[in-house]
Amino acid sequence: SAVISQKPSRDICQRGTSLTIQCQVDSQVTMMFWYRQQPGQSLTLIATANQGSEATYESGFVIDKFPISRPNLTFSTLTVSNLSPEDSSIYLCSVRTSGGLGDTQYFGPGTRLTVL
**Where does this chain bind other proteins (CB under 8 A)?**
1, 6, 31, 33, 41-43, 45, 48, 92, 94, 96, 101-110
At closest approach, how far in Å is the CB of 94 from other proteins?
A: 8
Distance, in Å, from the CA atom of 93 to the CA atom of 108, rounded to the nearest integer, reads: 6
- Cβ 108 to other proteins, closest distance in Å? 5
- Cβ proximity to other proteins: between 17 and 105 the closer is 105
Distance between CA atoms of residues 43 and 105, nearest Å: 13
89 versus 94: smaller Cβ distance to other proteins: 94
In the complex, what is the shortest distance from the CB of residue 36 to other proteins, in angstroms, rounded to a whole number?
Answer: 12
Spacing of C-alpha 11 from chain mean position:
15
Q: Would you say 95 or 115 has its CB closer to other proteins?
A: 95
How far are the Cα atoms of 14, 37, 40, 45, 91 from residue 84, in angstroms, in the given order?
A: 8, 16, 19, 19, 15
| Distance set, CA 16 to CA 13, 42, 55, 86, 116 (Å) | 9, 26, 24, 12, 10
CB of 29 to other proteins, least distance (A): 11
β-partners of residue 7 are 22
Output 55 or 110, the one with its CB closest to other proteins.
110
